[in-house]
Amino acid sequence: MTNKYKYFVANWKMYGNKKSVNSLKKVIKFSKMSKFKTAKIVYCPPYTILGDFIKKFKNTNIKVGAQDCHFIDGEGPYTGFVSSKMIKQIGSQYVIIGHSEQRKSGDTDIKINKKILSSINNNLNVIFCIGENLKQKKKNLTKKILSYQIKKGLNKVKNFNKIFVAYEPVWSIGSGKIQSEKELFKNIESIRLILKNIKNRHQFKILYGGSVNDKNINLLSKIKNIDGFLIGGASQKPNKFIDIIKKSYI
Ligand code: PGA
């Protein structure tokens, strides 16, 4: 870990309803334990229950984020979309941008860059997702893809304090497959080097995501250059999520 805090971001994707809010009690109780005070927990539920989560976590250290936003900063005739300004207004402090599931449904690097700029403008912390797919990995293009996505995504960004880079190999998301400790360390180092060339001396926060669970966390938490995790499936069960955090501190 290169930063003071360890980050645990729960990406609930298109899951959850009003009842799910009750399941958060355990996590709130857990978050108050002094041993885990340096754990920064962020929940990213669907828009429909964002307000409920914000209310539930009021007066706790747990933060809330959205899973995407429109690239237009403000308001406009964009049926079905939500802007970063709206996300901030409701009380969120984070937003996930460039998730591969969004890239699959039309997010380009240019759109991602605009989303990032508008989110920073609205004072949101950005969890900027990057990662190679299986075809690119097999062709040994990982480094090239990561560099391209980072450069395009962070174009014209000035305030890097709000940027969290989440390395999520596409082939690892939801598949149960993770790369070896050595390979992951190497890829995170490559990301650090690319970022260093963009903003020298800034201590970037880099998260890993892709099939993180209560079994592989022992191995993953040994990788020194990772500052936290973006967790999908395993974050929806409070016990599993708590277990992941606990094991990260052993
Ligand atoms: P997963 O998802 O943990 O279910 O693989 C991670 C993500 O998509 O952010």
Q: What values do phi and psi take at 169, rounded to 5?
A: -60, 125
- Between the CA of 175 and the centroid of ligand 1 the distance, in Å, is 9
212 lines ligand 1 (CB under 6 A): yes
Tokens coding 47: 């828009």
Nearest-angstrom CA–CA distance, 85 and 74: 6
Residue 209, ligand 1, Cβ within 6 A: yes
Q: Which amino acid is at 183?
A: E
**Tell me, what's the pLDDT at 250?**
74
Active site residues: 99, 168
Distance CA 163, CA 170 (A): 20
Instruction: Tell how far CA 200 is from the center of its chain.
Output: 22
> Distance from the CA of 76 to the center of ligand 1, in angstroms?
31
Ligand 1 contacts CB of residue 244 (under 6 A): no
CA-to-CA distance for 211 and 231, rounded, in angstroms? Answer: 7
The residues, any chain, with a CB within 8 Å of residue 26's CB and separated by 6 or more, are 238, 239, 242
Q: What is the pLDDT along the chain (250 residues), one digit of tens a residue?
A: 677 789 999 999 999 999 999 999 999 999 999 888 899 999 999 999 999 999 999 999 999 999 999 999 999 999 999 999 999 999 999 999 999 999 999 999 999 999 999 999 999 999 999 999 999 999 999 999 999 999 999 999 999 999 999 999 999 999 999 999 999 999 999 999 999 999 998 999 999 999 999 999 999 999 999 999 999 999 999 999 999 999 998 7
Give per-residue burial for 52-77: e unless 16+ CB within 10 Å, then b: bbbebbeeeebbbbbbbbbbbbeeee
Looking at residue 37, its pLDDT comes to: 86
Q: Which residue's alpha carbon is nearest to atom 7 within ligand 1?
A: 232
Considering only CA atoms, which of 9, 80, 77 is closest in space to residue 40? 9
Ligand 1 atom with minimal separation from the 13 CA: 8
Identify the structural domains of the chain with CATH numbers, from first to last: 6-248 (3.20.20.70)
Q: Model pTM?
A: 0.97
Q: Which residue has the tokens 């508008």?
A: 118
| pLDDT confidence of residue 226 | 97
Give the Å distance between the CA of 230 and the centre of ligand 1: 7
Question: DSSP letters along the chain, please?
Answer: --SSSEEEEEE-TT---GGGGGGGHHHHHHHT-GGGTTEEEEEE--GGGHHHHHHHTTTSS-EEEES---SSSS--S-TT---HHHHHHHT--EEEES-HHHHHTT--HHHHHHHHHHHHHTT-EEEEEE---HHHHHTT-HHHHHHHHHHHHTTT---GGGEEEEE--GGGTTTS----HHHHHHHHHHHHHHHHHHSTT---EEEEESS--TTTHHHHTT-TT--EEEESGGGSSHHHHHHHHHHHT-
Cα separation of 138 and 149, whole Å?
18
Instruction: Verify whether ligand 1 is closer than 6 Å to residue 65 (CB atom).
Output: no
- In the reported structure, the alpha carbon of residue 212 is separated from the centroid of ligand 1 by a whole-number distance in angstroms of 7
Q: Which atom of ligand 1 is nearest to the CA of 209?
A: 6
Q: Is the CB of 98 under 6 A from ligand 1?
A: no
